[in-house]
Amino acid sequence: MIWIGILIVALTFFAIIKRYETRLVLFVAGVAMALVVGKPLVTIDAFAKAMVNEGLVTTICTVMGFSYVMKLTGCDSHLVNLLTSLLRRAQFILIPGAVIITWVINIALPSTAGCAAAVGAVLIPTLIGTGVHPAMAAACVMSGTIGSVMSPGLAHNPFVAKLANVDVMTVIAGHTVAALVSLAVAATMLTIVSYLRKEGASVERSAQISGHEEKFKVNFIKALIPIIPLVLLVLGSKMVGLIPTVTVPQAMIIGVILGFVVTLGKAQEISKSFFKGMGDSYGEIMGIIIAAAVFTQGMDTIGLTGALIEKMKESQDIARYAASFGPFFLAVLSGSGDAAALAFNGAVTPHAAQFGFTITDMGSLATMSGGLGRTMSPVAGGAIVCATIAGVNPMEIAKRTAPGMVVAIIAVLIVLSFK
């Protein structure tokens, strides 16, 4: 049975790499493993249980509803343009600055492709206008999309919080140092790559670019709206405690209300957009989590999870490297860090204490591993968006982001394993 389970898991990851529909692949694989031992209905029960996971549904749906409202009201564009205008005044830090700006915005807009589109539409042409090579400009934005690990709306953070029975801000606080280290590594390595390839700001390249950029007038109030919910969550967290505790849904709905206030003429459109965001996030993000629950239940039913845990008990190093490099390599190949990280966190992370880890540390390691791998994948949705805006091949972006991501995963492994 164990070998049959291994075969099904291998076929599952092969199908994901070949870009078959992730939810379908995970669901079918989970049911198939349970069917082998004559217990297919347990996976249906797992499906139903995951559908009504209160901590995940409320967090993810309200965050994405808020994100849709920010896009409708243009608040995200005002924030992007505000930060980009600041970057223009310090061209000597263009490359690392662009990575950092994207990283910050990715916290407020945790969707990789969505952030790449929102930021890339403004930042990539700006960088190209200063003479930065188009592929390097796109790589700056793509490298910054590892910031979502700091967002309470990233599916993995509430997922790990639920496993550890803590609030989502505790999970984020636990990997903040690792996230900042990965940012520093990514920005530094990309700067080095740009220097070695001579692809940074260039007067000659800038002079070849014709036309003038349309002037965008930033509304500072609108620019602040996307970050207010994040500020409320930090100030109300157990670690800071300057204000009463604010839950993620409360913070996001406050943000939506502020969106109403700054654009009173769009009340009906904002309402529709918020609920559309909630619905889309349930289908897209919760859909993967639900399908992953079926997959992990199938692994458990066929006995593969137990065998894997027993093997990992032999050495903490095996567990450590599996959590860091497993999701990383699958994300590079498939373009998505979600499937592997969610499968690992669902099956293995609940038993983290048996390997000498806390649940939050092991869960965060797998989460960040998948995100870093996705960032150097030429088939990731965000890479394709950035490549389209810059007019380059996605593989050219991957060549430039890869050194930083490889060094970053090693750094993250060290920080989270030995803190």
Over the stretch 244-297, which tens digit does the pLDDT of each residue have?
888 888 988 999 999 999 887 788 999 999 999 999 989 888 888 888 889 889
- pLDDT at site 270: 92
Percent of the chain with pLDDT over 70: 95
356: left (phi over 0), alpha (psi -120 to 50) or beta: left
Measured CA to CA, the distance from residue 124 to residue 113 in angstroms comes to 14
Q: The dihedral of CA 338, 348, 183, 174: what is its sign?
A: positive
Q: Binning pLDDT at 50, 70 and 90, where does residue 303 land?
A: confident
* CB 113, CB 138: distance < 8 Å: no
And the tokens for 265?
A: 């003429």
22-36 and 41-51 are packed helices; what angle lies between their axes, rounded to 10 degrees? 140
pLDDT above 50: residue 212: no
Distance of CA 401 to the CA centre of its chain: 16
Mean pLDDT across the chain: 87
Angle (CA) 290 10 43, round 5°? 30
CA separation for the pair 91, 40 (Å, rounded): 59
196: number of Cβ within 10 Å? 9
Residues 45-66 have a mean pLDDT of 86
Phi, psi (rounded to 5 degrees) for 212: -125, 140
- What pTM did the predictor assign? 0.77
**Amino acid at the residue 201:** A
Q: Is 361 helix (H, G, I), strand (E, B) or coil?
A: helix
The single-letter code of the amino acid at 413 is L
Residue 210 has pLDDT above 50, yes or no: no
First vs last Cα of the chain: how many Å apart?
38
Instruction: Report pLDDT for 218.
Output: 87
pLDDT digits (tens, 9 = 90+) for 313-357: 667 778 788 888 888 988 887 777 777 788 888 888 888 888 888
Q: What are the Cα distances from residue 418, in Å, to 89, 166, 178, 370, 407?
A: 39, 21, 11, 20, 17
